[in-house]
Amino acid sequence: MPLDHSIDTDVDVLVEDETDVGAISELIVYNDDHNTFDWVIQCFVEVLEHSSEQAEQLSLIVHYKGQAIVKTAAMKELRPLKDALVDRGLSAIIQTESKV
């Protein structure tokens, strides 16, 4: 009885899309001259669900450094948060982290 030396060559390949909406992104808020600390803190608490302490610390970082990453998550999670912050008068963008 001869032995079968054939090799199964079926291979499954996973291809990652560089624009995957699940990729980790950063929600960045910029400093401005028209929003008060209290308003920015309130926005961070209500929209981002940060504690009041975390919101206060982030507002100080935004003020003194000119910007701060206020949340890191998947793009699809950050979009409505960014839109809500912008609707409240804050300057915010989403930046996708670069893969190093």
Domain at 56, CATH number: 3.30.1390.10
Domain of residue 78 covers 24-96
The string of pLDDT tens digits covering residues 12-57 is 554 444 455 558 999 999 999 999 999 999 999 999 999 999 999 9
Residue 78 located in a structural domain: yes
8 A C-beta contact, residue 95 and residue 25: yes
Residue 65 located in a structural domain: yes
pTM value is 0.75
Structural domains of the chain, count: 1
How does strand 91-96 pair with strand 24-30?
antiparallel
Torsion of CA 53, 58, 60, 66, to 10 degrees: 180
Cα–Cα dist 20/64, whole Å: 33
Residue 56 located in a structural domain: yes
Q: Tell me, what's the pLDDT at 12?
A: 54
The string of pLDDT tens digits covering residues 65-100 is 999 999 999 999 999 999 999 999 999 999 997 654
Residue 69 located in a structural domain: yes
Residue 4 located in a structural domain: no
Q: Tell me, what's the pLDDT at 6?
A: 58
Residue 76 located in a structural domain: yes
**Which two structure tokens, joined as six digits, stand for 73?**
């998550």
